[in-house]
Structures are given as structure tokens and as C-alpha cells.
């Protein structure tokens, strides 16, 4: 098993990792990440049966962790919730509902030829999907463990997280490289439709169109400026009435 250097002391402190030695096994690091994802993600209330239901971590495919994942969560809680680990040897579409009952799903490299099929069958669930399969965010997965030399980096698909109804902590977002796949043509069309609505005095309609732009391109500063300007105008109008 490869040895990797952990990230930085800042990362350890912010995400609450224990301070290990200079070198630890790759999958001990990834197991620690997964435990901290449980602390850095908020699921909808209806993702749990009750306030004490556990956070379920599923491993799909050949398990690379050995005992590392079990050790990482043993005896620990996130709030009132314990953590449990379940394993599925391979993907069976007829048993997709069993996976949907979980909260974090690690998709093993053994399943790389079926990733799109797996994610398609899991649509509508509240799963935080995690993998080390190349191009995982581009296929619709949420978090990729990426290797940068002897370091593990995170690549985050915020759109996938939003579709799953997940709220990510600012720290997790800040420490990740955000995956972006922007439909520039759609953004342009929505932007100018919004401009047209704004010119015609339909400010609320303009804001809705520009918010759609941001869903496609979350870091578009020009669109955000237009939304801020439009909201300020609505506030000014209300103050006059």
C-alpha cells in the first residue's frame, strides 16, 4: 500500500483530523477524509428515520480500505449519530434502493466501467458520492480523491451535491478544487434574456433568469452583480411605496 504525505496542518485543524505522523497509508488518509465528510455535510432531515439514526457509509465494489474505514469511524459520533459501514461487492440495479438508504457512497475503482450506470440509478437520492475514479465529477459524482504527487486533493462537483440536497460546509468547499462544466451558450442566452426582462421593468423575472445562470456558472461575477443590482432596485421600489 502506498504511503502518502498528509496535506497541511491547516487542513488537519480545519477538518478536525487527528495529527498523524509524516507518513501514513493512502487509505487511512482517505478513510479519515470520509469520516470528516460526515462532519462537513448536512443531509436533509428526511434522509434519516429519526434523530439517532446512523450515518451510513457504503463501499461499492472491491474494498481498498481493509479495516481503515471501520477504524476511522469506530466509536465516533457526529452529533447524536453514530457511523456504520456497509459493503456491496458489486452493483445490482435491482438493489439500488439499498444503496439509496445510505448517506456516503464510496465507489471503488473496480466499478469504473459502470459509474454512469450507477449514478443514473441513484438519481433522486441524498447520497454523497465519493470515488478515486478518474473524471468522476465529470460523470456526475460529487467528490473525487485526486492524486497530486504524494498528496491527496479533493475535486468537488457542487452541482451534484446540490442535486442530492446536500449542504456542504464552507471549509470543505474552500479546501476543494471545484469542478466546473459550464454550458456557455445557455448562460449567454439566459443572461441576455434577463437583461431584456430588466429593461422592460420585469425585475423579478430578470432575477430568476440570472439565478439560473448562477446554477450553471456559480462563479460568474457579472451575473451576481446584476442580481445584486436588481435586488437593490426592488428594495428601493418597496421603500417608496
Residues 58 and 106 placed together within one structural domain of the fold: yes
Domain that holds residue 53: 3-178
Into how many domains does the chain fold?
A: 2
CA distances from 69 to 30, 57, 77, 186 (A): 8, 9, 14, 42
- Residue of 240, 155, 226, 234 whose CA lies nearest to 201: 234
158 shares a domain with 210: no
Question: Do residues 135 and 229 both lie within one domain?
Answer: no
Please check whether residues 172 and 188 belong to one and the same domain: no
Q: What is the DSSP letter of 46?
A: G
The ranges of the chain with pLDDT < 50 are 1, 3-21
221 and 106 in a single domain? The answer is: no
pLDDT tens, residue by residue, 125-165: 999 999 999 989 989 999 999 987 778 889 999 999 999 99
Note the pLDDT of residue 237. Answer: 83
Q: What is the pTM of this model?
A: 0.69
Instruction: Find, among 141, 122, 128, 140, the residue nearest to 39 by Cα.
Output: 128
pLDDT of residue 19: 39
Q: What is the Cβ-side half-sphere exposure of residue 34, based on CA atoms within 13 angstroms?
A: 35
Q: Which of 130, 201, 200 is nearest to 160 (CA)?
A: 130
| Angle made by CA atoms 143, 145, 150, in degrees to the nearest 5 | 155
Q: Element (H or E) spanning 120, and its range? A: helix 115-121
Which CATH number belongs to the domain containing residue 11 in this structure? 3.40.50.2300
Same domain, 124 and 153: yes
Domain shared by 214 and 156, yes or no? no
Same structural domain, 47 and 140 = yes
Structural domain ending residue among the three candidates 125, 153, 178:
178
- Same domain? For 137 and 234 the reply is no
Are 67 and 25 in the same domain? yes
Shared domain for 20 and 67, answered yes or no, is: yes
Which single residue is written with the C-alpha cell 439500488? 96
Would you state the pLDDT for residue 241?
Answer: 66
With beta carbons less than 8 A apart as the criterion, state whether 118 and 131 touch: no
Q: What is the CATH number of the domain that holds 217?
A: 1.25.40.10
Residue after which a domain boundary falls, among 128, 152, 178: 178
Q: Which of 153, 178, 203 is the last residue of a domain?
A: 178
Tell me, yes or no, whether 98 and 114 share the same domain: yes
SS3 label, residue 7: coil
Amino acid at each position: 500500500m502506498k504511503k502518502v504525505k498528509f496535506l497541511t496542518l491547516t487542513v488537519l485543524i480545519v477538518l478536525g483530523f487527528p495529527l498523524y505522523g509524516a507518513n501514513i497509508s493512502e487509505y487511512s488518509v482517505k478513510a479519515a477524509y470520509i469520516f470528516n465528510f460526515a462532519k462537513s455535510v448536512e443531509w436533509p432531515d428526511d434522509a434519516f428515520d429519526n434523530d439517532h439514526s446512523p450515518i451510513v457509509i457504503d463501499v461499492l465494489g472491491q474494498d481498498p480500505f481493509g479495516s481503515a474505514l471501520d477504524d476511522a469511524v469506530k466509536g465516533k459520533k457526529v452529533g447524536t449519530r453514530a457511523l456504520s459501514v456497509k459493503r456491496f461487492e458489486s452493483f445490482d440495479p435491482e438493489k439500488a434502493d439499498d444503496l439509496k438508504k445510505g448517506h456516503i457512497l464510496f465507489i471503488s475503482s473496480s466499478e469504473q466501467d459502470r459509474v454512469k450506470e450507477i449514478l443514473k440509478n441513484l438519481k433522486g437520492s441524498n447520497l454523497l458520492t465519493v470515488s478515486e475514479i478518474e473524471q468522476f465529477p465529470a460523470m456526475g459524482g460529487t467528490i473525487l480523491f485526486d492524486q497530486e504527487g504524494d498528496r491527496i486533493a479533493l475535486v468537488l462537483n457542487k452541482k451534484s451535491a446540490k442535486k442530492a440536497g446536500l449542504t456542504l460546509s464552507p471549509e470543505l468547499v474552500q479546501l476543494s478544487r471545484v469542478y466546473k462544466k459550464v454550458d456557455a451558450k445557455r448562460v449567454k442566452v439566459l443572461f441576455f434574456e434577463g437583461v431584456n426582462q430588466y429593461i422592460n421593468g420585469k425585475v423579478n423575472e430578470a432575477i430568476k433568469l440570472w439565478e439560473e445562470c448562477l446554477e450553471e456558472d456559480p462563479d460568474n461575477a457579472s451575473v451576481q452583480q446584476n442580481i445584486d443590482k436588481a435586488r437593490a432596485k426592488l428594495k428601493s421600489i418597496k421603500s417608496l411605496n
